[in-house]
């Protein structure tokens, strides 16, 4: 079933029913999990956004926002759990950064997905056995990053300028704080934000008042206007300067690549200017496995001048007590309590499944949860996702 919209539609809501009756309380173990968002172009300015889930979606809504949220497509799935990242970027698509939130809070149920429509129009949607498909039309989004096209000069860049046949005019100039350079005869020339080709043409035009057919040669001697800091678990952390379109993989490679102690996530932090809120700090979280293995553009974003790339260290959980191989294990691939026990090669014959303790620090305070593994195995309770530095204690049976 595909719902089609007319242009006059300002607010649309769809209730998707997939065998879950309204009002029925769904056991935690039966919750559908929202696993991924994927967006692709289909030609003729048509785009498809897929919400992938572990099964048919429960009761859900899809609407276009009103008031301050006008221009946003809002999906709400109150009866589902989430494996999604906080934000998704799809360069070249007619949408902005997609935001994911959990109205029910961490550990609760409910997923809210907010999609800024950047020139896109909602055409309809479709419920599938593996989630939901949103149909959009619109022109591909223009490049958001200033380094997608030819390199544009900025403050601090050093230029080597010469004029054929006039050795006395050879100059090494730095782009000043006001974005200009000063060249004899040409005077003060604004160059910040311009390409080398644009500046060369402008200089030749100015020099025609003094020289016959001036031939200007212009090269960038030193790139200094677009710094990116790379910190954490890389071989050569430090500040690097963009010389053109540079992806996250490119900048990590410049820093000597990740060390053996690198964790599973890379965080790209940048300051973005908002017309209504001023400068906003935004973080893009990229999984190392997606960055290295998928080859998909949205998993390898372009970096911008001023970005900070943080490669965090490996994180661990600890398991002790009645498991075959107690010890410290890397926190990878979003492990749960059941996965952790499997990683530790299972329970011993003396293990007691009821009363397993998960100890973790929350805001500097140690907390303790008691978990019934048997209830999880019987799908009467939801498995427990693990966090960094969690300690699992499997008790011994009482005889």
207 and 258 part of one domain: no
Give the chain's length. Answer: 399
List the single range of 6-10, 37-41, 238-242, 297-301 with lowest mean pLDDT.
Answer: 6-10
Tell me whether residue 242 is in a domain.
yes
Q: Quick one: pLDDT at residue 69?
A: 65
| Domain interval for residue 285 | 227-313
Task: Report the alpha-carbon distance of residue 123 to residue 113 in Å, rounded.
Answer: 18
Tell me whether residue 9 is in a domain.
yes
DSSP structural state of residue 301? P
For the record, the structure tokens of 398 come out as 């009482």
Instruction: From 222, 242, 268, give the residue that closes a domain.
Output: 222
Q: Quick one: pLDDT at residue 93?
A: 79
- Beta-ladder partners of 219: 160
Tell me whether residue 149 is in a domain.
no
Would you say residue 151 has pLDDT above 50? yes
Cβ count within 10 A of residue 261: 11
Q: Quick one: pLDDT at residue 107?
A: 62
31 and 61 part of one domain: yes
125 and 7 part of one domain: yes
233 and 199 part of one domain: no
90 and 133 part of one domain: yes
Tell me whether residue 148 is in a domain.
no
Span 361-379, average pLDDT: 91
Task: Report the alpha-carbon distance of residue 82 to residue 62 in Å, rounded.
Answer: 17
Helices (H), the chain: 196-207, 248-254, 288-293, 337-343, 373-377
List the single range of 173-177, 184-188, 254-258 with lowest mean pLDDT.
Answer: 184-188
Q: Quick one: pLDDT at residue 3?
A: 39
User: For 321-345, what is each residue's pLDDT tens digit?
Assistant: 999 999 999 988 778 999 999 999 9
Instruction: From 204, 222, 240, give the residue that closes a domain.
Output: 222
Would you say residue 396 has pLDDT above 70? yes
Span 120-145, average pLDDT: 73
12 and 130 part of one domain: yes
Tell me whether residue 10 is in a domain.
yes
DSSP structural state of residue 296? -
CATH number at residue 76: 2.60.40
Instruction: From 89, 108, 137, give the residue that closes a domain.
Output: 137
Task: Report the alpha-carbon distance of residue 259 to residue 233 in Å, rounded.
Answer: 5
Tell me whether residue 145 is in a domain.
no
101 and 125 part of one domain: yes
Are 159 and 220 in contact by the 8 Å Cβ rule? The answer is: yes
27 and 125 part of one domain: yes
Would you say residue 196 has pLDDT above 80? yes
Tell me whether residue 364 is in a domain.
yes
Total domains in the fold of the chain? 4
CA count, 13 A, side-chain hemisphere, 118: 15
CATH number at residue 191: 3.30.1950.10
Global pTM exceeds 0.75: no
57 and 121 part of one domain: yes
304-314 exposure pattern, b = at least 16 Cβ within 10 A, e = fewer? bbebbbbbbee
Span 22-38, average pLDDT: 65
Q: Provide the percentage of residues in the chain whose pLDDT is more than 90.
A: 42
Residue with tokens 């001036």: 214
8 and 77 part of one domain: yes
246 and 308 part of one domain: yes
Span 109-129, average pLDDT: 82
212 and 235 part of one domain: no
φ, ψ at 203 (rounded to 5°): -65, -40
Tell me whether residue 358 is in a domain.
yes
CATH number at residue 326: 3.10.560.10
């Amino acid at each position: 079933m595909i719902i089609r919209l007319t242009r006059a539609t300002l607010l649309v809501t769809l209730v998707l029913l997939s065998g879950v009756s309204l009002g029925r309380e769904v056991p935690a173990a039966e919750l559908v999990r929202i696993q991924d968002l994927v967006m692709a172009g289909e030609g003729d300015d048509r785009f498809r956004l897929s919400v992938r889930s572990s099964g048919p979606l429960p009761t859900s809504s899809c609407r276009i926002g009103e008031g301050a949220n006008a221009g946003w497509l809002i999906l709400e799935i109150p009866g589902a759990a989430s494996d999604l990242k906080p934000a998704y970027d799809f360069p070249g698509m007619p949408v902005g950064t997609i935001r994911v939130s959990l109205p029910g809070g961490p550990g609760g149920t409910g997923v809210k997905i907010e999609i800024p429509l950047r020139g896109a129009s909602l055409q309809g949607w479709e419920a599938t056995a593996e989630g939901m498909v949103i149909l959009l039309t619109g022109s591909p989004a223009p490049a958001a990053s200033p380094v997608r096209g030819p390199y544009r000069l900025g403050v601090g860049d050093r230029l080597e300028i010469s004029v054929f046949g006039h050795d006395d005019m050879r100059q090494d100039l730095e782009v000043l704080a006001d974005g200009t350079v000063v060249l004899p005869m040409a005077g003060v020339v604004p160059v910040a934000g311009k390409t080398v080709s644009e500046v060369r043409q402008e200089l030749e035009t100015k020099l025609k008042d003094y020289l016959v057919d001036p031939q200007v040669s212009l090269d960038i001697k030193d790139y200094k206007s677009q710094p990116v800091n790379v910190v954490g678990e890389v071989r050569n952390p430090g500040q690097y300067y963009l010389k053109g379109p540079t992806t996250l993989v490119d900048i990590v490679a410049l820093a000597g690549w990740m060390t053996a102690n690198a964790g599973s996530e890379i965080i790209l932090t940048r300051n973005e200017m908002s017309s209504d809120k001023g400068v906003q700090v935004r973080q893009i979280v990229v999984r190392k496995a997606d960055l290295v293995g998928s080859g998909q553009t949205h998993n390898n974003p372009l970096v911008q001048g001023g970005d900070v790339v943080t490669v965090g260290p490996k994180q661990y959980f600890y398991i002790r007590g009645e498991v075959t191989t107690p010890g410290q294990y890397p926190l990878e691939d979003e492990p749960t309590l059941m996965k952790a026990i499997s990683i530790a090669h299972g329970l011993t014959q003396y293990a007691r499944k009821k009363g397993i303790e998960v100890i973790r620090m929350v805001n500097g305070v140690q907390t303790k949860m008691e978990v019934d593994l048997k209830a999880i195995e019987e799908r009467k309770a939801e498995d427990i996702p693990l966090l960094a530095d969690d300690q699992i204690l499997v008790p011994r049976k009482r005889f």
